[in-house]
Structure 1
């Protein structure tokens, strides 16, 4: 009885050139998908994110001159085009593990290269099913739209609409920061209110250098636990938010006022609700006061 690999080889040999090429591409696409799921077996949501942002693959022999013992051996490269910097960083972090899981799928390459998808390539999605699942999980647009930014789901009402957009991005950052979505939701469901206040440590800072201070409001009994979680995972959340277009300076945890008691800032269905009864001007003033204090300490050499 012939092996699956032998059977595939015999099938490819029996097809004409074009049909064999299309089948080989389909096989490689499936092998890459299975390899990604294997390399991120401990974090399937991250695997889904990588696949959703994969635009194209290629396999080719690197013809650049090389030195060393293997200089005369063929060097096979797998190129992966991605339209998201966070997905590229995931590939970069597990490059060698991915190469091993690819070999387990019968796809033997010497190097995996992550490349930036540009122009029309960004409109192509190699795994539309992953894109649809990601859109469903994170509340992002339907396939064909960008996963980085979402158009307003309702008419803009000024600051509240802006806050809702920012909080949607913050929710995605939380979902990407924990081992799985259930862990992320266990944290998000404790948050009764959330707001992002603009802060700048330079009086002449441009919009491109704008940063936010994230304020999370939780019940009094949850303050200690939430503070511990943010202390442990805050930097990860901040790093996940940055490639999504949300630069956060720091995350602060507060006790919820009575008006927020029992509310959920991040409902599982629908978009986050901006805090209409929260004085964002007061938060910005507090952020400005802290920034001025930091500048004074730096100036005084403390």
Structure 2
């Protein structure tokens, strides 16, 4: 049996129609979507399957992605005995991993990330928060530039290490926009503001930490069937006390996705991504190990056939 790591996508992987094939062809998926709708008080069928503005709002984006990821995971585990050697996710995806490893009921996880999104939105109200994608600069250059600019009063931080030459920064939107030419003069091929109204994984979210820890303490169990690789440290944890601290720190710390993949690369034969294919694309830039994505019933069957 091959050594497998389960991975879960974060914000940016959402799109209208995600999970529809699961809903149409699986009684389990239909039940999970309908039960989750009852839990949080809004209709996931409308959110996921019909054109709407809510899917791009973080308090709705987060539970939508998590729910589809956990449906893909449940359908896979219903037909496979493959046990991962570890799990990891990109930002929000770490909460999907937490549920998939048994540390949180999926309905509790849906409500938790809905509330996490609200906390993030509230933390960023009135501060003109935003994020910017950078292509073509190495980590050290981005860190040096953002550090220098913070010393001059600008609010800008490295937020996501997605791969070599692919970093997202977060902070005040005007400050980010003012640095576009600085990054390009330093060798960036692109410096593009993202359509986001929150500044994830930077100190602007500090007010969300304490209430998030309260929710984690309320809903999380100390029952991990496999370790999770932390976004904050790129190292494994497998206990509630560690999870509470690390997932709180994740709000204000950069996502070390590239480092997390490299941490497990030598011990893994393949990665399986549940509910999206964005991480499959990122992994092509990081590792030679294959990544297989489960996004519908056809891809589910294809991945099951590998074992």
Give the TM-score, by structure 1 length. 0.25
Higher relative contact order (CA 8 A, sep 6+): 2
**Higher alpha-carbon Rg:** 1
